[in-house]
Amino acid sequence: MSAILVYVETKDDQPKKASLEALGAASRLGGDVVALLYGRHARAAAAKLTGSGAAKALAVEDAQRTHFSPEAVVAALAAAAATLAPRAIFFAATSQGRDLAPRLAEKLGCAQASDCTELRSSGDGKVEARRPVLAGKAYTWIRAKNSTLVATLRPNVFAEAKSGGAPAVESMPAPAADLKSIVKEIVASASGKLDVSEAPVVVSGGRGLKEASNWKVLEDLAAAFGGRAALGASRAVVDAGWRPHAEQVGQTGKTVAPQLYFAVGISGAIQHLAGMRTAKTIVAINKDPEAPIFKVADYGIVGDALEVVPALTAAIKKAIG
Amino acid sequence: MKIAVCMKRVPATDTKVKPGAGRPWIDSTGVEYVLNPYDEFAIEEALRLKEARGGAGEVVVVCVGSADAQKELRTALAMGADRAILLEDAQAELRDAQEIAGALAAAVQELGSELVLLGKTGVDRDQSQTGQRVATRLGWGCAIECAKIAIDGSAIRAEREIEGGREVLELSLPAVLSCEKGLNEPRYAGLKGIMAAKKKPLETKAPQYAAAQVEVLSFEMPPERSGGRIVGSGVDAVAELVRLLQQEAKVL
Ligand SMILES: Cc1cc2nc3c(=O)[nH]c(=O)nc-3n(C[C@H](O)[C@H](O)[C@H](O)COP(=O)(O)OP(=O)(O)OC[C@H]3O[C@@H](n4cnc5c(N)ncnc54)[C@H](O)[C@@H]3O)c2cc1C
């Protein structure tokens, strides 16, 4: 069985969690897993892949290029794919993965499955992927006819491997590439907090919170999780200017799949569900017992958010504190 | 500047869907179709770019779709696009991004435009691939999910939201830019626009698809979430909720 190549994103010298999940998913499918890391800290980050499921790590340390360029990474991945002839190439479905994967798929003439939520290996060793379509209203299973399958994997859905040894780290020269797009700068958001698409716990609020200043109660609930929670929002409150668009969850916002999702004062419109229905556990707090959100929630409390949430925050602090 | 805007006809996001008979996609009977919402941002941006250049150049909308997609193309013309090209295929709904990108890239080349705008994703297959594939096929630069676009001569500066921040990308023409919500506020087509659209040229051609590697194995509806358990009412239910989160869901 041929290998699975996984592009591992790094932040400074740390491999990103969503990429570790992709390595975990690849290792469970069987066969060799080869990680490719790109950038100034590629080797240092590769040294942190012990127990990630990767048997080998290709570190492309590119000292000349100070700015990130998608074409450069795609060229390196294409070169690695040419020698490995992998059965699949995985990316995390992050802003980087969403950009790189289709470029590579097109360059290699491959099929791509985007934002996959389940994977399996067929009898003949082909990787098959299940992915949502129509904003999660339906799913398809797809695979490639003859080519490698390129796939992006939804963050927080797949478990990390967390076992096994250290990969053999090899340096790989950066292949020549026609760089057309250069990332000039990355402006970190003022908060510097965990992004809603990456957080294991998401506390989302909607119009039921009544006004922007009431977000204090949601901030307190998020804080009870000690840095593991991020704030989310419905489109109604983003449109009202209460919250920034970066926090919007749903079809025209971000897709999240946290371990725990709180929907507070959110009715549960189909477009909102599109962004959060694959969360592992959903808690809804809404004063209307008929609100559609209760149909997808695992647990619901009917009540006024401004009364229930502070009590919940106190109880959670006590439980995990 | 000749700007090509790629657009798609998609099921409206709030329509109910059910599997079609004998095909791995929805049953389209009774389904309301609309212009893909993200493509509206692309059309609006193209119109603004043209307006900012004193109306010089041309905005051409290109769509791989069935004959019914003329309706969505007319919507784009009513917004202000100059002409439309329908790459007609009765089976367009079943085509993969790889095939569509091939057809669009060929059409763009034939048009001789040097800027392609399109939505960041189609809200039908949710693949987010077409722009990147078209750019790769053409050997052009590409910026996706643009929340801000500035073009000065042939230099492009595009901004997008990424996890925990904003990324600024520089590239130059020719280029493909995919558009995100927030880029602009798409205009409504007024009566005058709708009347004018009727007289604008809409050309129909056969799509020159690239070969598809994808094999669709199944199309299925997700199992209903078993949820719906109301733990209780008001503050009194909090203790039980926390117990369930801890002991049953094991997420605390
Ligand atoms: C093309 C398109 C794309 C869209 N994309 C998105 C998207 O990405 N994300 C998104 O969220 N929406 C999206 N929407 C909008 C969506 O349809 C809904 O309008 C929106 O999600 C509603 O937000 P809400 O739940 O906050 O508000 P509402 O629907 O007004 O719901 C408020 C809820 O709060 C409850 N409530 C009121 N007072 C209290 C209280 N004191 N305590 C507790 N509960 C209370 C009410 O019972 C109600 O259920 C989109 C719509 C379209 C057409």
Residue with tokens 């790989």: A172
What pTM did the predictor assign? 0.92
- Among protein residues, the one whose CA lies closest to atom 49 of ligand 1: A267
CB contact B55 to A (< 8 Å) = no
Model ipTM over 0.85: yes
Give me the tens of pLDDT residue by residue for chain A, a chain 321 residues long: 799 999 999 998 999 999 999 999 999 999 999 999 999 999 999 999 999 999 999 999 977 777 889 999 999 999 999 999 999 999 999 999 999 999 999 999 999 999 999 999 998 899 999 999 998 899 999 999 988 999 999 999 999 999 999 999 999 999 999 999 999 988 887 666 788 998 999 999 999 999 999 999 999 999 999 889 999 999 999 999 999 988 999 998 999 999 999 999 999 999 999 999 989 999 999 999 999 999 999 999 999 999 999 999 999 999 987
Ligand 1 centroid to Cα of residue B164, in Å, is 24
CB contact B103 to A (< 8 Å) = no
Ligand 1 centroid to Cα of residue A235, in Å, is 7
Structure tokens given for B172: 């130059």
β-sheet bridge partners, residue B178:
B118
B133–A320 CB contact, under 8 Å: no
Residues in chain A: 321
* Residues on chain A touching B163 (C-beta within 8 angstroms): 94-95, 195, 197-198
**Matching fold, domains A4-171 and A201-320:** yes
How many pairs of residues across A and B have Cβ atoms under 8 Å apart? 264
CA nearest to A153, candidates A104, A100, A127, A115: A115
| Second-level CATH architecture of A4-171 | 3-Layer(aba) Sandwich (3.40)
For chain B, what percentages of helix, strand and coil (3-state, to nearest 5) are there? 30, 30, 35
B217–A140 CB contact, under 8 Å: yes
- Among protein residues, the one whose CA lies closest to atom 29 of ligand 1: A267
The distance from CA B1 to its chain's CA centroid, rounded to whole angstroms, is: 22
Max Cα separation, chain A? 61
Domain boundaries along the sequence of chain B? 2-205
- The answer to whether the CB of B183 falls within 8 A of the CB of B147 is yes
Among candidates B37, B214, B225 on the partner chain, residue whose Cβ is nearest the Cβ of A296 = B225
A235, A282, A296, A309, best to mutate for ligand 1 pocket (most atoms within 8 Å of CB): A235
Give every strand in the sheet of B2-7, ordered side by side.
Answer: B141-146, B175-179, B115-119, B2-7, B58-65, B83-88, B202-205
- Among protein residues, the one whose CA lies closest to atom 30 of ligand 1: A207
Name the CATH superfamily for A201-320.
TPP-binding domain (3.40.50.1220)
Domain boundaries along the sequence of chain A? 4-171, 201-320
Q: How many CA atoms lie within 13 A of B14 on its CB side?
A: 3
As a whole number of angstroms, the distance between CA A225 and CA B178 comes to: 36
Domain B2-205 has CATH 3.50.30.40: no
As a whole number of angstroms, the distance between CA B78 and CA B139 comes to: 32
Q: What is the SS3 assignment for B28?
A: coil
CA nearest to A133, candidates B210, B197, B214: B214
Structure tokens given for A307: 């009364």
As a whole number of angstroms, the distance between CA A111 and CA A115 comes to: 13
Ligand 1 centroid to Cα of residue A284, in Å, is 13
> Residue A1 has what pLDDT?
79
| Average confidence (pLDDT) per 10 residues, chain B, 252 residues | 97 91 94 97 98 96 98 98 98 97 98 98 97 98 98 97 93 98 94 97 98 96 78 96 95 92
A98–B246 CB contact, under 8 Å: no
Q: pLDDT digits over B219-245, tens only? A: 999 877 666 789 999 999 999 999 999
A215, A218, A221, A252, best to mutate for ligand 1 pocket (most atoms within 8 Å of CB): A252
CB contact B154 to A (< 8 Å) = no
Residue A320: other Cβ atoms inside 10 A = 14
- Among protein residues, the one whose CA lies closest to atom 9 of ligand 1: A250
Nearest chain B alpha carbon to A145: B213
Task: Determine which of B9, B34, B245, B246 to mutate to test the interface with A (most A C-beta atoms within 10 Å).
Answer: B245
Structure tokens given for A111: 């099929």
B128–A194 CB contact, under 8 Å: no
- Among protein residues, the one whose CA lies closest to atom 23 of ligand 1: A236
SS3 of chain A: the string is CCCEEEECCEECCEECHHHHHHHHHHHHHCCCEEEEEECCCHHHHHCCCCCCCCCEEEEECCCCCCCCCHHHHHHHHHHHHHHHCCCEEEEECCHHHHHHHHHHHHHHCCEEEEEECEEEECCCCCEEEEEEEHHHCEEEEEEECCCCEEEEECCCCCCCCCCCCCCEEEECCCCCCCCCCEEEEEEECCCCCCCCCCCCEEEEECHHHCCHHHHHHHHHHHHCCCCCEEEEECHHHHHCCCCCHHHEECCCCECCCCCEEEEECCCCCHHHHHHHCCCCEEEEEECCCCCCHHHHCCEEEECCHHHHHHHHHHHHHHHHC
Q: What is the SS3 assignment for B231?
A: strand
Long-range contacts of B29-36 (CB under 8 A, 24+ apart): B33/B9, B33/B68, B33/B71, B33/B72, B34/B9, B34/B10, B34/B72, B35/B7, B35/B8, B35/B9, B35/B10, B35/B72, B35/B75, B35/B76, B36/B7, B36/B8, B36/B9, B36/B10, B36/B119, B36/B122, B36/B123, B36/B124
B166–A299 CB contact, under 8 Å: no
Residue with tokens 């910026």: B143
Among candidates B19, B143, B233 on the partner chain, residue whose Cβ is nearest the Cβ of A301 = B233
Residue with tokens 């797809």: A142
Ligand 1 cavity residues, CB under 6 Å = A 206-208, 234-237, 248-253, 265-267, 269, 271-272, 275, 285-288, 291, 304-305; B 13, 37
Ligand 1 centroid to Cα of residue A271, in Å, is 9
Which H or E run includes B99?
helix B97-111
As a whole number of angstroms, the distance between CA A97 and CA B92 comes to: 27
